[in-house]
Amino acid sequence: MTRSNGMNDEITINGDRFTLYLSEERIKIRVKELAARINAEYRGKVPIFIGILNGSFIFFADLIREITIDCEVDFLKLSSYGDAKITSGQVRLLKDLNCQVTGRDIIVVEDVVDSGLSIEFMKEIVMKENPASLRVVTLLLKKSVAKVEFPIDYVGFEIPPEFVIGYGLDYAQKVRNLKAIYRIAPKS
Ligand code: IMP
Ligand code: MG
């Protein structure tokens, strides 16, 4: 895997070119805004934040540190893309919840809602434990492709249906550690 990173706004990975899309600074500002809304709307409650692994781990860590109300955390691990850029269309549970969901306010944290399959799958898992409430926060939403039958309550950025990487989002399991988000560039 080559990672040419000249001006920091263009990266080439295995011959695919990516350009800077959401800078570290923009993400930081938006994460603070989302957290501020959650802090206000959950005042007096003790929600459980459930991160969907692996993609959400960086967003999750940044978001949770802006949360000022009492809260707990847990994680679900779902399988997603495998090693490709297109979804397999199959979601599997790789790690179940360890917390007691019944009667609790649940906030699920996702990196990106694409087809919506993962979030639908997660909803089934959480709802069968009878939470007091369930809301979803996603950093990115590909609205034009997402076929989700329930509202996504907190959305960082609505983006076009393009492949994006960085800030937790992978390309064949790599580049999750990039600090900004990059979008795939058309082949020239
Ligand atoms: P969905 O089930 O199609 O909504 O896809 C959700 C999961 O696929 C996300 O949690 C990501 O892990 C992964 N995914 C979707 N779009 C992208 C992308 O553009 N880049 C990297 N991963 C993605
Ligand atoms: Mg994910």
Alpha carbon of 44 to ligand 1 centroid (Å):
33
Of the listed ligands, the closest to the CA of 183 is 1
Q: Is 114 a catalytic residue?
A: yes
Give the start-to-end residue ranges of the domains of the chain. Answer: 28-180
Pocket of ligand 1 (CB under 6 A): 52, 55, 80-81, 87, 110-119, 163-165, 169-170
Of the listed ligands, the closest to the CA of 162 is 1
pLDDT at 71: 98
Beta bridge partners of 107: 49, 135
Residue of 9, 16, 70, 114 marked active site: 114
Ligand 1 atom 8, closest CA: 80
Span 112-137, mean pLDDT? 94
What's the CATH code, domain 28-180? 3.40.50.2020
Task: Single out the residue of 53, 59, 72, 70 nearest to residue 32, CA to CA.
Answer: 59
Ligand 1 atom 20, closest CA: 164
pLDDT at 150: 74
Residue type, 168: G
- Cβ atoms of 4 and 12 within 8 Å: the answer is yes
Alpha carbon of 74 to ligand 2 centroid (Å):
15
Alpha carbon of 50 to ligand 2 centroid (Å):
12
pLDDT at 88: 62
The pLDDT confidence band at residue 85, using thresholds 50, 70 and 90, is: low
Alpha carbon of 32 to ligand 1 centroid (Å):
23
Distance CA 133, CA 47 (A): 9
> Considering the chain, what percentage of its residues have pLDDT values greater than 70?
90
The pLDDT confidence band at residue 151, using thresholds 50, 70 and 90, is: confident
pLDDT, tens digit, for every residue of 26-84?
999 999 999 999 999 999 999 999 999 999 999 999 999 999 999 999 999 998 655 55
Distance CA 100, CA 96 (A): 12
Of the listed ligands, the closest to the CA of 145 is 1
